[in-house]
Amino acid sequence: MERRQLRERCEGKLRRALGVPLLGESVEELNRLGELDQERAEQGLVYVKGKGSRISYMHIDDLSIPDMYFRTAAERVQVGWLKERVARRKRGASAPPIPPHLG
């Protein structure tokens, strides 16, 4: 499953998920986020949630079974942020802050 998600990120999944810019964002900014995520995916890096709310990257080949819990936690943070973007788009509100691990 992790390798499939990594392939999808290499193919630009995050940029497609971001959609159109919200208030306070630009197309260039979203493109940059998408490109950065693709580059990290091409390097084999996946999100892992560390202590507190800090998210960092780990090479997919270095993941252990216990790391999968932290991997899943990081994925929940990412999905939550994307859901918040959708909710704000529907309300016509400004964009939520970009998570530090994406910037």
Is 32 within the bounds of a domain? Answer: yes
In a domain, 102, yes or no: no
Q: Is residue 103 part of a domain?
A: no
Q: Average pLDDT in the 37-61 region? A: 92
Mean pLDDT for 27-55 is: 93
Sorting pLDDT into bands at 50, 70 and 90, what band is 102? confident
Does residue 97 form part of some domain?
no
pLDDT of residue 103 exceeding 90: no
Q: What is the mean pLDDT of the chain?
A: 93
Q: 26 to each of 49, 54, 66, how far by Cα in Å?
A: 28, 25, 38
Residue 56 scores a pLDDT above 80: yes
In this predicted structure, the answer to whether residue 54 has a pLDDT above a threshold of 90 is: no
Average the pLDDT over 81-86 and give the result: 95
- What is the spatial distance between Cα 60 and Cα 2, in angstroms, rounded to a whole number? 8
Q: What is the span of the domain harbouring residue 78?
A: 2-91
Single out the residue of 77, 101, 85, 80 nearest to residue 23, CA to CA.
85
The count of domains in the chain is: 1
Using a cut of 0.95, tell me whether the model's pTM lies above it: no
